[in-house]
């Protein structure tokens, strides 16, 4: 891996994790709200995205990948492409 890769990766982590935390702290101090709703939202995101959606997408991707190794590419079969996009959209 190259140095630019790690720099961009670190920046992405900072933006995706650090910014929401800083925004939550700022919002709590500015408006005097409790931090509990912010933590509930983070927990719900963790459960639904990281523990359910990501594994489901990986399993589906593997299933589609095995299907595609035996036959045409996903771009060649519009029905597979539409079903995959619908799955991604509905689980987002």
**pLDDT, tens only, 23-57:** 989 999 999 988 888 889 988 988 888 888 889 88
Same domain flag for 29 and 42: no
Residues 28 and 42 in one domain: no
> What is the three-state SS of the chain?
CCHHHHHHHHHHHHHHHHHHHHHHHHHHHHHCCCCHHHHHHHHHHHHHHHHHHHHHHHHHHHHHHHHHHHCCCHHHCHHHHHHHHHHHHHHC
Q: What is the mean pLDDT of the chain?
A: 85
The whole-number average pLDDT for the span 11-20 is 91
Note the pLDDT of residue 70: 66
Determine contact, residues 84/64, Cβ cutoff 8 Å.
Answer: yes
Do 20 and 41 sit in the same domain of this protein?
Answer: no
Give yes or no: residues 29 and 46 share one domain: no
Q: Containing domain of residue 84, as a range?
A: 37-92
| pLDDT of residue 65 exceeding 80 | no
pLDDT band at 11 (very low <50, low <70, confident <90, very high): very high
CA 37 to chain centre: 21
Q: Are residues 29 and 12 in the same domain?
A: yes
- The total number of structural domains in the chain stands at 2
Structure tokens at 59: 């399993």
In a shared domain, residues 47 and 74: yes
60: left (phi over 0), alpha (psi -120 to 50) or beta: alpha
Same domain for 3 and 28, yes or no, is yes
pLDDT of residue 30: 93
């Amino acid at each position: 891996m190259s140095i630019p890769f790690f720099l961009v990766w670190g920046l992405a982590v900072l933006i995706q994790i650090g910014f929401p935390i800083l925004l939550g702290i700022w919002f709590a101090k500015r408006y005097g709200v409790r931090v509990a709703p912010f933590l509930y939202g983070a927990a719900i995101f963790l459960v639904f995205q990281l523990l359910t959606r990501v594994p489901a997408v990986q399993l589906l991707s593997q299933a589609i990948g095995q299907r595609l190794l035996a036959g045409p590419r996903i771009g060649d079969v519009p029905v597979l492409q539409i079903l995959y996009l619908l799955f991604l959209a509905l689980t987002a």
